[in-house]
């Protein structure tokens, strides 16, 4: 079958020498027409030149010149063709070399994946061994594999977190035994398991710190239901992905100082048997309708914390003291139905988008000294909501700034200090104020409402400043109240008095 010539014509081989013909064939194509032309010219030259020898000589010279030109052309064609062949051979060699190299790399990658997969299976099986050295060897090997095998690093993290979530012998007794007594009073099986889990946590946190391999991507950590025996150290850890501590138990102290939660962190139903020390947190607790809040049995430290997202402490229970000095809440914080069993110190904290302390039970002393309660650009609510909260001990709001505050239905049982406070749109409607309430040098920058409030103790306003009006309707008060300048002492019932500064 004859191939159909392409559109380049019969001389396409000059531009693409691989198409057809050898060097000899290509040379004949060029030299044959020239040789025929030279012979024809020579014959006609002899015929027409006649006896003129000079003309014959010139014809011979011309024919030889034509033949010489043909030879030169042949040489050019041959050289050009040879160059093309050499280049084509070189290109084929380069392509073949690249192909072979890619084949080697592909084969090597397949072998590497198969080897890593086998190692992963072997190291994971070591975790199920009863011998401590074998377990620890599997732990360290899995972490080294995670450092190298980036494509499946999340899978290895899942396995290690899953091991921490597994129940183990005597764990129900562990939380009842002090840390210093556990190694002597609990059987050796506990010591073995504790060592393995402590190693997993230590190696994991080391890689979660700045510059570690576990901060290269948004890896997720699932510790839900895990029991952390002894103290748990997450200091400086960067949780690049979601962190889930739902239902986890910290039998010792929990250290999160300097930690960073880049995404959502869940501590719903989490139990802190010892002290809890946080450096940063995003979400803790949650709107759990089934009653599964976080429980802090020891002291809780949130000093200098930055809450980047909504801080949810719904129904949480703090049995120890709570320290949140200089904490910053970027979004609205919720402490609805929270119980503070001992003192709360939230001095110089800042709520940038408001906070809700609805129905909170403050059983110990409360301090909000120089705390700023800001409304935020999008919020339509008051910056601080303490509705129906109960303050069983003394509370201090000295120098606090409220961009709108509601104490509706609140119970101040043992006195409150609002000296130097700035209150905008403050309402104490239906509040029961007992003890010594001091508004000395405070400023009511918006309307102040005490509608149906009960003032069962001395309340000192003077020289508090009301910028707009004071709504004093239906209030009950004791004879010890000291009212601001311009308000009769005692004030008439069922009135609203406007005071312009």
Quick: pLDDT tens for 197-214: 999 999 999 999 999 999
Residue 120, domain member (yes or no): no
- CA 95 vs. chain centroid, Å, equals 45
Phi and psi, residue 453, nearest 5°? -80, 155
Domain extent at residue 78 = 12-115
Number of domains in the chain: 2
* Of 70, 94, 115, the domain-final residue: 115
- Judge whether 327 lies within some domain: yes
- Do 306 and 431 share a domain, yes or no? yes
Domain shared by 445 and 349, yes or no: yes
Is residue 122 included in any domain, yes or no? Answer: no
Are 111 and 223 contained in the same domain? no
Same domain, 206 and 106: no
Residue 182 inside a domain? The answer is: no
Please provide the average confidence, as pLDDT, over all residues in the chain. Answer: 80
Q: What is the pLDDT of residues 290-332, one digit of tens each?
A: 445 788 999 999 988 888 878 888 889 999 999 999 999 988 8
CA 88 remoteness from chain centre: 54
Quick check: is 242 in a domain?
A: yes
The answer to whether position 139 is within a domain reads no
* Residue at which a domain ends, from 47, 80, 115: 115
Mean pLDDT is highest, among 51-60, 406-415, 467-476, for 406-415
Residue with tokens 């103790």: 457
Residue 385 and residue 481 share a domain = yes
109 plus 241 within the same structural domain: no
Average pLDDT for 54-62: 65
Q: Are residues 394 and 269 in the same domain?
A: yes
Tell me the three state secondary structure of residue 126. helix
- Over the stretch 129-173, which tens digit does the pLDDT of each residue have? 888 889 999 999 999 999 988 989 999 999 999 999 988 655 544
169, part of any domain: no
Distances 104 to 99, 108, 148, 279 between C-alpha atoms, Å: 9, 6, 21, 50
pLDDT at 8 over 60: no
For residue 434, is it within any domain?
A: yes
- Residue 21: CB atoms within 10 Å: 13
Are 322 and 343 in contact, with CB atoms under 8 Å apart? yes
**Final residue of a domain: which of 61, 80, 115?**
115
468 and 322 both lie in a single domain: yes
Residues 102 and 225 in one domain: no
Out of 160-174, 175-189, 319-333, 441-455, pick the least confident.
175-189
CA diameter of the chain: 159
84 and 230, same domain (yes or no): no
């Amino acid at each position: 079958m004859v191939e159909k010539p392409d559109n380049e014509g019969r001389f396409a081989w000059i531009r693409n020498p691989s198409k057809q013909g050898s060097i000899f064939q290509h040379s004949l194509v060029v030299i044959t027409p020239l040789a025929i032309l030279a012979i024809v010219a020579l014959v006609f030259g002899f015929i027409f030149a006649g006896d003129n020898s000079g003309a014959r000589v010139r014809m011979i010279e011309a024919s030889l010149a034509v033949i010489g030109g043909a030879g030169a052309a042949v040489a050019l064609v041959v050289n050009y063709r040879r160059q093309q062949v050499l280049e084509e051979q070189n290109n084929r060699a380069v392509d073949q070399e690249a192909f072979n190299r890619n084949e080697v790399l592909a084969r090597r990658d397949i072998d590497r994946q198969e080897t890593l997969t086998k190692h992963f299976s072997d190291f994971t099986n070591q975790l199920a061994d009863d011998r401590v050295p074998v377990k620890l060897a599997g732990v360290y090997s899995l972490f080294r594999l995670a450092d190298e095998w980036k494509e499946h690093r999340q899978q290895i993290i899942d396995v290690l977190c899953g091991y921490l979530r597994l129940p183990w012998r005597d764990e129900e007794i562990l939380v009842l035994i002090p840390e210093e007594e556990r190694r002597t009073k609990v059987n050796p099986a506990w010591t073995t398991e504790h060592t393995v889990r402590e190693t997993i946590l230590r190696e994991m946190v080391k890689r979660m710190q700045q510059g570690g391999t576990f901060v290269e991507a948004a890896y997720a950590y699932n510790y839900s239901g895990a029991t952390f025996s002894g103290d748990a150290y997450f200091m400086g850890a960067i949780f690049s992905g979601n962190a889930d501590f739902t239902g986890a138990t910290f039998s010792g102290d929990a250290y999160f100082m300097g930690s960073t939660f880049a995404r959502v962190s869940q501590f719903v139903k989490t139990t802190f048997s010892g002290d809890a020390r946080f450096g940063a947190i995003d979400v803790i607790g949650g709107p759990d309708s089934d009653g599964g809040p976080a429980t802090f049995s020891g002291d809780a430290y949130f000093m200098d914390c930055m809450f980047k997202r909504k801080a949810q402490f719904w129904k949480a229970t703090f049995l120890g003291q709570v320290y949140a000095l200089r904490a910053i809440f970027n979004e609205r914080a919720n402490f609805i139905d929270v119980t503070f069993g001992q003192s709360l110190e939230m001095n110089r904290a800042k709520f940038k988008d408001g906070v809700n302390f609805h129905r909170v039970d403050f059983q110990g002393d409360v301090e909000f000294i120089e705390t700023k309660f800001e409304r935020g650009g999008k919020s339509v609510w008051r910056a601080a909501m303490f509705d129906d909260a109960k303050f069983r001990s003394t509370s201090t709001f000295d120098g606090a700034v409220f961009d709108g505050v509601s104490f509706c239905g609140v119970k101040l049982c043992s006195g409150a200090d609002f000296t130097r406070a700035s209150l905008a749109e403050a309402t104490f409607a239906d509040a029961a104020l007992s003890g010594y309430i001091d508004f000395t040098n405070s400023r009511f920058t918006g309307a102040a409402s005490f509608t149906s409030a009960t003032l069962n103790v001395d309340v000192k306003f003077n020289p508090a400043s009301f910028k707009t009006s004071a709504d004093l309707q239906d209030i009950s008060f004791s004879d010890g109240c000291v009212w601001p300048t311009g308000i009769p002492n005692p004030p008439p019932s069922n009135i609203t008095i406007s005071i312009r500064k």
